[in-house]
Amino acid sequence: MFAQSNVREGMVVRSLDGEKLGKVFAVGEGQFLVEKGLFFPKDYSCLYTDITDIRDGEVFLSRGREQLQDLSLSTPRDTGLVTDAPLPMTAAAPVETATHRDLSASAGLDLDRERDISIPLAHEELSVTKREVEAGEVRITKEVIEEEQVIRVPVKRERARIERRPVDPNRPAMNASFENEEIVVPLHTEQVSVTKHAVVDEEVVIHRDEVEDERRVAESVRHEHVDIRSDGNTETSRSLNAQDALKDRR
């Protein structure tokens, strides 16, 4: 057995054969109102005893599509409700007036206490996130340039200079061997050896500075707008509140 606590406003209502009838827009202790849909030309009231199952946020009734159509076009359902005055019902007239009044009376709604139904209207806002990506690069190439460098280096060398000097004729030759003899006198010179070593001429320093720019980002956003229309000649907008529905039908 289902009760008022099991049914919430906005729940989809389906018939026994799975046809979508509409959505619940008002809930009372004895009945709940279903908005008009494909099968109901006007809003329709259902008893909690008509519910066979509630699953996945949807209400399933014990009546099929044809039974519900016949019932919505027949005389008001006997709920033991007391209204201000009896309202005639015909086969061509929908039961919106009687069912709204029946719901307000049988559900025990306090007519002095307003029950508001909130319809949220949403809009989209832009959220900007930043991530760092590679935008370019600076490439420095060191090339080796070979050139010839001339350095003048003074060097010394020895050369032979022959000098003949006269001596005293009476000087005796002490070590004369009277043999053939070759005397070798070495001559020296300086040779130049070249070595190379690296020295630093200068430094090239790369600085990465942060520069802050402003970039314009444009994107379309959506927002919700509610359009309220009413049926018939009444100038008042349709209410999703059972209490207001009752006042409008009186």
Residue 116 lies in a domain: yes
How many separate domains does the chain show?
Answer: 1
Q: Supply the range of the domain harboring residue 10.
A: 4-122+238-249
Residue 127 lies in a domain: no
Report d(CA 175, CA 184) in Å as an integer.
Answer: 18
**Phi, psi of 243, rounded to the nearest 5 degrees:** -65, -45
pLDDT tens digits for range 125-167: 988 898 999 989 989 999 999 999 999 999 999 999 999 999 8
Residue 78: CATH number of its domain: 2.30.30.240
Residue 45 lies in a domain: yes
Residue 18 lies in a domain: yes
Is residue 241 pLDDT above 90, yes or no? no
pLDDT tens digits for range 171-204: 888 888 888 888 899 999 999 999 999 999 999 9
Residue 22 lies in a domain: yes
Residue 24 lies in a domain: yes
pLDDT of residue 145: 93
pLDDT tens digits for range 1-56: 788 888 988 888 888 888 888 888 888 888 888 887 666 666 778 888 888 889 88
Residue 49 lies in a domain: yes
Residue 54 lies in a domain: yes
pLDDT tens digits for range 69-88: 665 544 344 433 333 333 33
